[in-house]
Amino acid sequence: MTIERKWWKEEVIYQIYPRSFNDSNGDGIGDIQGIIEKLDYIKNLGVDIIWLSPIYASPNDDNGYDISDYYAIHPEFGTMEEFDLLLKEIHAHGLRLIMDVVFNHSSDEHEWFEKSRASKDNPYRDYYFWKPGENGGPPNNWRSFFGGSAWEYDSTTDEYFLHLFTKKQPDLNWENPKVREEIYKVVRYWLDKGIDGFRMDVIPLISKRLEFADTPLPAFNDVVEQVYSNGPRVHEFINEMYERVLKEYDIMTVGEGPGISTKTGLDYVGHDRGELNMIFHLDHMFLGHGPRGKFDPVHYDWKDIKKIFTDWYDAMGDSGWISIFLDNHDFPRLVSRFGNDEEYRIESAKLLAMLVLTLRGTACIYQGSELGMSNVKFENIEDYRDVETHNYYKEFTESGTSHAEFLKQVHAHGRDNVRTPIQWNKEKHAGFTSGEPWIRVNPNYTEINAEDVLADEDSIYYFYRDLLSFRKREKTLIYGDWKIIPMASDDLFVYERFDANYKILVILNHSDNTHALDLNVDNYSLCFTNVSSSDKNTLLPWEARLLKSMND
Ligand code: NOJ
pLDDT in tens, 31-43: 999 999 999 999 9
Residue 534 clears pLDDT 80, i.e. is over it: no
Q: Is the pTM of this model over 0.85?
A: yes
pLDDT in tens, 236-261: 999 999 999 999 999 999 999 999 99
With a pLDDT cut of 70, the percent of the chain lying above it is 100
In ligand 1, the atom with minimum distance to the C-alpha of 62 is: 7
534 Cα–ligand 1 center, Å:
43
133 Cα–ligand 1 center, Å:
27
CA distance linking residue 28 with residue 22, whole number of Å: 9
The residue to mutate among 53, 61, 65, having the most atoms of ligand 1 within 8 angstroms of its beta carbon, is 65
Residue 1 — pLDDT band, cuts 50, 70, 90? low
Identify whether 201 is a catalytic site residue. yes
The verdict on the CB of residue 62 being under 6 Å from ligand 1 is yes
pLDDT in tens, 61-102: 999 999 999 999 999 999 999 999 999 999 999 999 999 999
CA distance linking residue 88 with residue 351, whole number of Å: 35
| Mean local confidence (pLDDT), 114-134 | 98
For ligand 1, atom 2, the nearest C-alpha belongs to 201
pLDDT in tens, 259-273: 999 999 999 999 999
Phi, psi of 455 (to 5 degrees): -90, -5
pLDDT in tens, 407-438: 999 999 999 999 999 999 999 999 999 999 99
pLDDT for 406 = 97
pLDDT for 48 = 98
pLDDT for 375 = 98
Identify whether 496 is a catalytic site residue. no
pLDDT in tens, 332-342: 999 999 999 99
In ligand 1, the atom with minimum distance to the C-alpha of 258 is: 1
Q: Which of 256, 327, 347, 491 is catalytic?
A: 256
Residue 535 — pLDDT band, cuts 50, 70, 90? confident
pLDDT in tens, 475-498: 999 999 999 999 999 999 999 999
Helix H, strand E, coil C: the string for 341-373 is: CCCCHHHHHHHHHHHHHHCCCEEEEECCHHHCC
DSSP 43-84: HHHT--EEEEPP-EE---TTTTSS-SEEEEE-TTT--HHHHH
CA distance linking residue 467 with residue 544, whole number of Å: 12
In ligand 1, the atom with minimum distance to the C-alpha of 146 is: 7
Residue 533 clears pLDDT 80, i.e. is over it: no
Does an H or E element contain 101, and which?
Answer: strand 96-101
* E strands, 229-380, in order: 252-257, 278-281, 289-290, 293-297, 323-324, 362-366
Q: What are the chain's domains?
A: 9-99+327-473 (3.20.20.80), 111-162 (3.90.400.10), 177-321 (3.20.20.80), 481-550 (2.60.40.1180)
pLDDT for 2 = 78
pLDDT for 547 = 98
The residue to mutate among 67, 103, 201, having the most atoms of ligand 1 within 8 angstroms of its beta carbon, is 201
Q: Is 453 helix (H, G, I), strand (E, B) or coil?
A: helix
The verdict on the CB of residue 65 being under 6 Å from ligand 1 is yes
Cβ(301)–Cβ(288) under 8 Å?
no
CA distance linking residue 456 with residue 461, whole number of Å: 9
pLDDT for 90 = 99
Residue 381 — pLDDT band, cuts 50, 70, 90? very high
Percent of residues in the chain assigned helix, strand, coil, to nearest 5: 35, 20, 45
CA distance linking residue 354 with residue 471, whole number of Å: 10
53 Cα–ligand 1 center, Å:
10
CA distance linking residue 242 with residue 249, whole number of Å: 10
Q: Which of 23, 31, 196, 201 is catalytic?
A: 201
In ligand 1, the atom with minimum distance to the C-alpha of 165 is: 10
65 Cα–ligand 1 center, Å:
6
